[in-house]
Chains A and B, each alone.
Chain A
Amino acid sequence: MKKSNDLYEVFLRSIRGVDHRHVGSLHADTAEQALTYARDCYTRRSEGVSIWVVKSTDITASQEQDAQSFYDPMDDKPYRHASFYVLPDEVNNM
């Protein structure tokens, strides 16, 4: 028998139209139970309209040592950012 139950990561969508955001974790034996406790523990002030729970061990995370090959190639594409383009002052708010 397991000594301790699983750790679940909790994600909340605070209002319709925004992304789910990581808010913390909790212990539970099943995803269903994790969802119930997430409601009680992380939405006491009605912070959420939607909750995701994910078993912490099911998350595959990028490693620090991979960071260079992962993100560095993205560094040299400033043309993807709006600030790359200089527009006349008269044309603001674009």
Chain B
Amino acid sequence: MNNLSNNALYHYLIGMADDALVLGQRTSEWCSRGPFLEEDIALSNVALDYVGRARMFYQYAADVEGLGRTEDELAYFRDEREFTNLLINELPNFDFAFSMVRQYFLDVNACLYLEKLSLSSDQHLSEIAAKAVKESRYHLKRSRTWLVQLGQGTEESNRRMQSAIDELWGYTPEMFIMTEAEASLLATQVSVDRKDLQQQWSATVTADVQEANLQIPDQQWQVVGGRDGDHSEHLGHLLAHMQILQRSYPGLEW
């Protein structure tokens, strides 16, 4: 790595790449398990968007790092402690409500965030963001519709959605924490200030959750640490699955 700002950019990119890969991996687990065939197919499209996004970020990160590593080496040969994704992305798909509420929380944030990132002074980053924001707008349209339909559907669906919101709520503040790397890239307008987005995120989410006959929890708990490699126990299992072949037979082509 040739200088400090490249180092920061690398870490910034890796965080976004890990976010995308881990959520893509989780979402792909729905394939052949959706609540009906049309939704099954639609969920795979979302997963494909995220894996595609991960590849763009990893490829760029590998370029910036300049050590000749590939996207796959970054994805398959780093351990749990080196992954810096948000915790909310790695939680299992406990049920469809859980996955949809998570997706909704992340989609609202992604639309706000990527919109700004598409104006980044870093041209490559702005191009990735411009592509990704189109996908996220579509994802949000879907997840918001699910929020309302399931919130207002039956007693059971309302109860499941509420419990998903309650369980996920404490993982949302992490979306707005700035890492050192990100903060150092603000001055050159490469990165986006996440804190600026929190208010609009809360306002949007509060309104939508109310429309869905659901409540924002009042308790103020929060769990953070993903960006520092402090993960839940779930990530290790996800990576163990994902990395098994590359780790068992390093250096081979597949």
**Interface of A toward B, CB cutoff 8 Å:** 26-28, 33, 36-37, 40-41, 44
Contacts and interface: CB of A to CB of B under 8 A. Distances in A.
Interface string B27-40: 00000000010110
Contacts of A37: 38-39, 41-42
Nearest to B45: A40
Contacts of A41: 38, 41-42
B159 interface: no
Nearest to A40: B42
B36 A27 contact: yes
Interface of A is mostly: helix
Nearest to B46: A40
A36 B45 contact: no
Query: 4 smallest A-B Cβ distances: which pairs?
Result: A40-B42, A37-B38, A41-B41, A40-B45
Contacts of B36: 27
Given A27-B36, A27-B38, A33 B145 contact: yes
A6 to B, nearest CB: 12
A85 B141 CA distance: 56
B142 interface: yes
Nearest to A44: B45
8 contacts: A36-B141, A36-B145, A37-B42, A40-B41, A40-B42, A41-B38, A41-B41, A44-B41
Given A36-B42, A41-B41, 19 more contacts: A26-B38, A27-B36, A27-B38, A28-B38, A33-B145, A36-B141, A36-B142, A36-B145, A37-B39, A37-B41, A37-B42, A40-B38, A40-B41, A40-B42, A40-B45, A41-B38, A41-B42, A44-B41, A44-B45
Nearest to B44: A40
